[in-house]
Amino acid sequence: MSSQVDGNDVPHIARGLEGVIAAATNIAEVDGEKGKLTLRGYDISELAGNVSFEEVAFLLWHGKLPTQSEYAELMDEMRAARELSAESLACLHDVAKSTSGMHVLRIGASTLSIGDGTVDSISKEDNLKRAARLQAQMPAIVAHSYRIGKGLPIIQPKPEHGLAQGFLYMLEGEEPSQARIDGLNAYLVAVSEHGLNASTFTGRVVMSTNSDMVSAMTAAICALKGPRHGGVPGPVLAMLDEIGTVENADPYIRNEMTQGRRIMGFGHRIYKVRDPRAAILTVAAEKMASITGDRHLLDLTQAVENTCVKVLAELKPGRDLYANVELYAALILHSVGVPSEIFTPIFGIGRTSGWTAHMLEQMDETKIIRPESVYVGPRDRKFVPMNAR
């Protein structure tokens, strides 16, 4: 199949690599038609609410859920590894007062190779340990840099804290409620892995060169920073604040669509039905609301979703635009009580498990990822000296 570009026949170009199968994976299956996400063969709805985030990370890395002893060993390993090096902390102190969010996460993540004597090893065993260490340290980068940026001292988690509890404690210096821990844990499970998305693909490309896992993760963070990929939960919350009431949902959405503006938290390149991760986070939000008694934002979010699906079907029939994970991510993260400016970095904490699982899998491949391009620029140009141009 070919097309015409400037009068020349060129092969079909899969823009954005859409429809191109670039990897065979055992990690996750994303079924856009059925709205189904499976991790290592488990429907994500089987995992959400039944396992901790650390169990899901183990599953992604090892291909099976941990036994009680394996889980205890992983928790000990991650707790021992989560403190940042003096050099990483010095870097955060240098940059966190002048930049924030994903910029700090990118810079901080790149320092995690410091002091790692086997960082360039391509041993699977070394990199399994590295995956657990990087996962343990990512929450510290986000929490510490946030506090430094606010002029507050950093706080280390307690020995007994798991990842979600420890992150909230590092962020605030107070023991979080179980409802908030459960809400954040549900969010991290929901975003832990999602197939060959832009950031995961970026990480696999870097790993395919036999580069190191820290470099590959830093590159993945760079891809996640882009608002087309990971920067939507904050704007979703701003949209919900602007709508304000359930009654205002219909006129707001109609006006935005008439003006040609995008409705935040709707539509997905893969899913043609409701994002299954939105369903998981809806359940988590319902649980939190039943404990706190505060349903305002949940009711508003559900009203916006129902109204938007109705209006989209009316004004853009056949487009298959439904709620994606970002709509309910904004709700759950706000309910947990974390600042909106670190919504995307928190996404990065959760997705580290999936990124590193794909990096481990990519190590088994023998070919570097190197797609081809088609040249469509000018030809047969003749050199002209500078004084004659």
- The catalytic residues are 268, 326
**How many angstroms separate the first and last alpha carbons of the chain?**
40
> Looking at this protein, which amino acid is placed at residue 24?
A
Buried b (16+ CB within 10 A) or exposed e, 32-53: beebebbbbebebbebbeebbb
Which token pair is 31?
Answer: 């079924």
Count of Cβ atoms closer than 10 Å to residue 267 Cβ: 19
Helix or strand run (H / E) with residue 39: strand 36-39
Count of Cβ atoms closer than 10 Å to residue 309 Cβ: 16
DSSP letter (8 states) at residue 86 = H
Give Cβ neighbours of residue 93 (< 8 Å, ≥ 6 apart): 148
Alpha carbon of residue 76 to chain centroid? 25
Q: In angstroms, what CA-CA distances link 161 with 76, 136, 198?
A: 10, 11, 32
Nearest to 336 by CA among 210, 221, 124, 178: 178
Sign of CA dihedral 125, 130, 132, 135: negative
Alpha carbon of residue 345 to chain centroid? 8
Helix or strand run (H / E) with residue 85: none
What gap in Å lies between CA 339 and CA 90, rounded to an integer?
24
Q: In angstroms, what CA-CA distances link 114 with 129, 163, 182, 362?
A: 15, 22, 33, 23
